[in-house]
Amino acid sequence: MKPLIAAMLLALAVAPAMAGDVVDTAFVKTEGVHAFNVRDLVMMDRVGDPQLSPDGRYAAFGVRSTDYAANKGVNAVYVLDLSKDGQPVKVVDKGSSARWSADGRSLYFVAPAKGVAQLWRVDLGGKGGLNLAKHAAAVQVSHGVLDLGGYKLSPDGKQVLLSYEVFTDCTTLMCTQQRVAARDKDKASGTLYTKLFVRHWDTWSNGGRNQLFVAGFDGKGQLPAEPKLLSRGIDGDIPSKPFGDEGEFAFAPDGKSVYFDVRIAGTTEPWSTNFDVYSVPVDGSALPKNLTVDNKAWDAFPVASPDGKTLYYLAMKTPGFEADRFAVMALDLASGTRREVDPNWDRSPGGLTISADGKTLYATADDNGQHPLFAIDAASGKVSQLVGEGTVGGYSMAAGKLLLTRDDLKRPADVYLAQADGSALKRVTHYNAAALRNAKVGDFEFFNFKGANNATVQGYVVKPVDYQSGKTYPVAFIIHGGPQGAMENGWSYRWNPQTYAGQGFAVVTVNFHGSTGYGQAFTDAISGDWGGKPLEDLKLGWKAALDKYSFLDGDRACALGASYGGYMTYWIAGVWNQPWKCLIDHDGVFDTRAMYYDTEELWFEERENGGTQYEHPENYEKFNPLNHVKDWRVPMLVVHSGNDFRIPITQGLGAFTALQRRGIPSEFLTFPDENHWVLKPHNSVQWHDAVNGWLKKWTAKDAQGAVSH
């Protein structure tokens, strides 16, 4: 029988579930000791947002549990008394974004009231400390008619910054609410757009903008229904969409001024990264003032020094580049002079925090496969690592103490306490401990090799659960997205290597040229070279892993990736398909030409390809997977979701069409209610079951090979 016909018959024999079929995503808890699986993953408690009380005695943090029957996560707020050995106490059943009051005796948080997100306060005060067991009921303190998007309390606790999405020509929140309600009632469903963004990430634009407001608490701790608009005349989102947060706005220490960052939209928003930092008086007596007008690249995340004389913020130097290095900048507010604090630190930090004495700045950053917390001397720029291995998530400081969340490749996040210098680090919560005692995970090891241009490149290997020396195992070769990202020593609820290790696979991944945490030149190296040096790194990394780890079965391996990793999966399908028994592509770029016109954030496409597609078409064709479909031969599972506007679903449909037309065994899995990520618990289970099923099918020892030419 001809190889092509044989492959087609095999594909028919294992036909996927079609529309109307029922997919079993039921949750049945695995009793006793077992290999880690996706049902363990989706049911884990997700710990985050640690907040240390002003006196350093109490830790507040959020925990997201999973209501599997309702197919959603449920957020709650817990408080732990750090002065004694005890268990965290749930003080808010349904709420998030908890922040301490200035006196440390109350917590503010966000939760719905009659279907609208509002600000609430729960008073915990008691004699000799907080009364966590018998505190007063929470009280709603905001009364806006729109969902509260974010907030930040003033240093004295008397005022609060509030973010709402409004129509900027409306003078009240009620005006926006009434206009939205009128649209909902309109029997005509069309929307007329006159500029981009038409849609962004997973949401169609309705003309609303996140705007910054301020309100003061009255004698009863209540806020007015109509706060004061501070961002008058600003055509932009504060915080930015889709992932901005309260780190993008801040009070001055005296509470008289407010700082925020924003990108002015105009008609250039989709191809601009020109964020600027503004100041505005808190009484609204003047319009916002641009403090960074000279820099046409990204300025953001303002933090004022305790004496109010210096404003620290992060700044990029290259316009139109979202993955440029963020430098720590210091602006003298009196003279207007500025300096780069950390010119010799070749890392790109996240948002800033400052010590009470103003001498030290704190930030996390990717660093050689880890994501530590660093201290930066505000005067000299000297950088020191406070908390190293693993991934530091949120953190806060008070009373000479440091509170943070930390995770790694073998365990999800918990809360840790340390001294302000990072010493005496200890774990103070033990969420998921019982689950991890029963659900076995695989050991991991980082390795280095010589990659493209003879540069040192890093990767890691995860051993399968129940690994036995002398045996060989099939391999899941994971290609990370970004592309300016990295596979690090951290826990993830998407693309977690342990879900494959629990299925009996070894995992190999490579942080190729373009990855973060290895210096800005290494990150920059991928731009304009998507299918070049990164592919060479992957080839050399695969060889290095096979040479170093004898338990890897190179004859039973599949490659898989998402986003840029999905692009690379399509690329290697045509130019490096020899090692692979199967491929899995999640939300990848199939046609780089069409991608330019289909996506929303054009600055990314233009930076990565050296300009627009119509001015430089050759750059878009240089590494276009579509042009190599004639050489595709490896069975492929394509996953693409309906609400992915970053890489629209037509990219996945095009690839699946190519596979089917070529007669290559292939399946297409789509989620109409998911975006670039698969987030809902049942969808996550279905995704993992489909992916693991595809891996097992094609790496089985009796599996048929790829289609021959």
Query: CA angle 545-472-369, nearest 5°?
Result: 35
If we measure between CA atoms, which residue out of 484, 461, 580, 577 comes closest to residue 530? 484
Catalytic-role residue among 640, 676, 684, 688? 676
Longest Cα–Cα distance of the chain, Å, equals 86
396's enclosing H/E stretch is: strand 391-398
The residue to which tokens 């009434």 are assigned: 178
- Cα separation of the two ends of the chain: 14
If we measure between CA atoms, which residue out of 701, 640, 698, 644 comes closest to residue 668? 640
And the tokens for 313? 């913020």
d(CA 141, CA 571): 54
**Backbone phi and psi for residue 165, each to the nearest 5 degrees, phi listed first:** -85, 120
Catalytic-role residue among 644, 666, 684, 688? 644
And the tokens for 117? 């997100």
d(CA 590, CA 624): 7
Contact by Cβ (8 Å): 350, 361: no
d(CA 42, CA 24): 15
Asked about 684 being catalytic, the answer comes back as no
Catalytic-role residue among 231, 257, 348, 563? 563
- Hey, which residues does 153 pair with through a beta bridge? 160
d(CA 134, CA 146): 32
Which residues, 6+ apart, have CB-to-CB distance to 209 below 8 Å?
A: 165, 166, 167, 168, 234, 235, 236, 237, 265
And the tokens for 354? 């400052």
Cis ω on the peptide bond leading into residue 412 (within 30° of 0)? no
Asked about 676 being catalytic, the answer comes back as yes
d(CA 636, CA 657): 12
Which residues, 6+ apart, have CB-to-CB distance to 334 below 8 Å?
A: 309
Asked about 563 being catalytic, the answer comes back as yes
d(CA 373, CA 284): 36
Nearest-10 crossing angle of helices 564-575, 533-548 = 80
The set of catalytic residues is: 563, 644, 676
